[in-house]
Amino acid sequence: VRWKAFEQYADDKERELWRAFVDLDRDGDMRLRAGEVREACRRAGIEVKEQAIDDFVRAVDRNGDGFISFDEWRDFLLLLPRPISMKEVWRYWQARPLARPSMSRLTQDGDGELPLPPSRPLPYRGPAAAAPSSAHENVHDEDEDEHGPMDDMFAGAGKFLLAGGMAGAVSRTATAPFDRLKVYLITSATGPPCPDLTAAAAKAGKKPPRPGAGSLTKAIRTVYNQGGGIKAFWTGNGLNIIKIFPESAIKFLSYESAKRVFAQYWDRVPDQTLISNSSRFVAGGIGGVVSQFCIYPIESLKTRVMSSSGGGTKGNALILQTARDMWAKGGFRFFFRGLPAGLIGVFPYSAIDMSTFEGIKLAYINWAGEEPGIAGSLCFGAISGGVGASSVYPLNLVRTRLQAQGTPAHP
């Protein structure tokens, strides 16, 4: 960034912030208090709780005197790239990680927000301040070269990925029976879902049962009887747990990198949390595609292991035998069977899932004036995941059938 360009930006932004400050300062004493901020939110149509107003004032009020001076207002909002309005100010405060150091959480979309010590912003001194010499016209800091934005992204990433991987392993283990039944129902041959029930209904002069409860009941019975009992519902779960760690890491890094690229080159905003919804949508899709491509061989192996169970071979021996059979049939390329359908499906799924979750969360924050709790985050995640999975289910069905093609369950 050229010094002259930044200086011009700071001058223009300071004038804009001054006009906004004067407009909010109803009593003209050059001090913004909680009541004036509350009134400004009301005029802007922002519904917030009293506690959120107090938190905002405390975040901007550096010296703790109970009100916001213009210097504090300017220093806090100088890097807000969009035109100043109360809605933009409120959104900027909600998105700014250092604005609320009490927030400490790991979000579903990979944004690790950890408490950091509050830094004292340097006041803008205007053009009269000592200007850099021509030899240093470019603002440069060696420390920033060594510890730049990418280092900030990786800071704490190991703990985040470890926590995410452990949580993913627990959740995958808990939902493994449903995944096992889903693969069985997708790969089973088409036709009447339960021939025995259909024949019994015809003999009794009744209508044959519709697909649904009958086919699910038969699936549970078949998996239990042919797979060796209750353990059959966790077939392939070990591969699920193995792939969750690289999948989480790759998805997190790809999503964060894509958001930074969009923030710098497309939306041109200083903070990746301020990118547009469309950029966040595409970044989520990119993260899903990259991670799906990298772990696809394990996904294919897992699907074929599930579709090959029911014989004499079980456990690790079944995994090794399935891997050898796949290699013998087509080499390494065989592990990527169905990849186009998988990538086409995972892009909208990941994009819809991440953008829907973040959209619902921001809408809740705007309505309630506070971060959602654990129960709220679980509900938002369930809604976004359900919408995303339902949207791309036909492509997921095609991908699973291609992966399982040639197995005993799907000849």
Would the pLDDT of 155 be above 60? no
CB 283 within 8 A of CB 255: yes
Two structure tokens written together for 65: 């005197």
pLDDT single digits (tens) 312-333:
566 677 788 888 888 888 888 8
Same domain, 384 and 320: yes
Of 85, 17, 81, the closest CA to residue 45 belongs to 85
What pLDDT is stored for residue 406 in this prediction? 64
Same domain, 69 and 177: no
pLDDT single digits (tens) 162-188:
766 777 778 778 888 888 788 777 777
- Is residue 118, in this structure, part of any structural domain at all? no
Same domain, 241 and 335: yes
Q: Cα–Cα distance between 278 and 180 in angstroms, integer?
A: 35
Last residue of a domain, one of 104, 133, 168: 104
Same domain, 182 and 39: no
Same domain, 311 and 389: yes
Please indicate, yes or no, whether the overall pTM of this predicted structure exceeds 0.75. no
What pLDDT is stored for residue 128 in this prediction? 37
> CATH number, domain at 48?
1.10.238.10
Element (H or E) spanning 316, and its range? helix 315-330
Would the pLDDT of 247 be above 60? yes
pLDDT class for 43, splitting at 50, 70, 90? Answer: confident
Domain span including residue 395: 159-187+235-404
Q: Cα–Cα distance between 281 and 355 in angstroms, integer?
A: 5
Same domain, 311 and 378: yes
- Is residue 295, in this structure, part of any structural domain at all? yes
pLDDT single digits (tens) 251-310:
878 888 888 888 888 887 766 767 787 888 888 888 888 888 888 888 888 878 777 765
- Is residue 128, in this structure, part of any structural domain at all? no
Q: Which residues contact 321 (CB under 8 A, 6 or more apart)?
A: 308, 313
Same domain, 165 and 50: no
pLDDT single digits (tens) 347-374:
888 778 777 887 788 788 777 767 778 8
Same domain, 290 and 391: yes
